[in-house]
Amino acid sequence: MTRASLMLSIALGASACASAPPAAAPPRAPALTFEQKMASILRLEDQRVLRDPAPQVPPATTAPARGRNAPVVVVPPPPPPDLTAMLRDEEARIRRRAALAIGH
């Protein structure tokens, strides 16, 4: 009886050590490439506007989830192109081109 209770307590103790997986971070908007940013800058400069209007976002459709509690992940669309926001870009060549497009 002692051996069985010892094995049971070891099994229960070992199963209690398992940790839950970390929570997934919320999805971020996809980053734009250099070419996409330059295309946006040139288009906005040609149209002589500082930013595009925000696009109409259609309501999210729920895709069938696998498993019982699988969350449906909806990736947000990238922000609309904005020359003033591109002045704070991490790439110097994008900041410079955005400043020239604005007229600074």
Q: What is the per-residue pLDDT across 68-102, written as a single tens digit (0 to 9) for each?
A: 666 666 767 778 899 999 999 999 999 999 999 99
Does a structural domain hold residue 2? no
Q: What is the CA radius of gyration of the chain?
A: 26
Task: Classify residue 70: in a domain, yes or no.
Answer: no
In a domain, 15, yes or no: no
Cβ–Cβ under 8 Å, residues 77 and 29 = yes
- Mean pLDDT over residues 18-42, rounded? 78
Please tell me the distance from the alpha carbon of residue 25 to that of residue 32, in angstroms, as a whole number: 20
Q: Is the confidence at residue 46, as pLDDT, over 90?
A: yes
Report if residue 11 sits inside a domain.
Answer: no
- Tell me the C-alpha distance between 40 and 46, whole Å: 10
In a domain, 83, yes or no: yes
pLDDT interval class at 6 (50, 70, 90): confident
Count of domains forming the chain: 1
Host domain of residue 86:
33-51+79-104
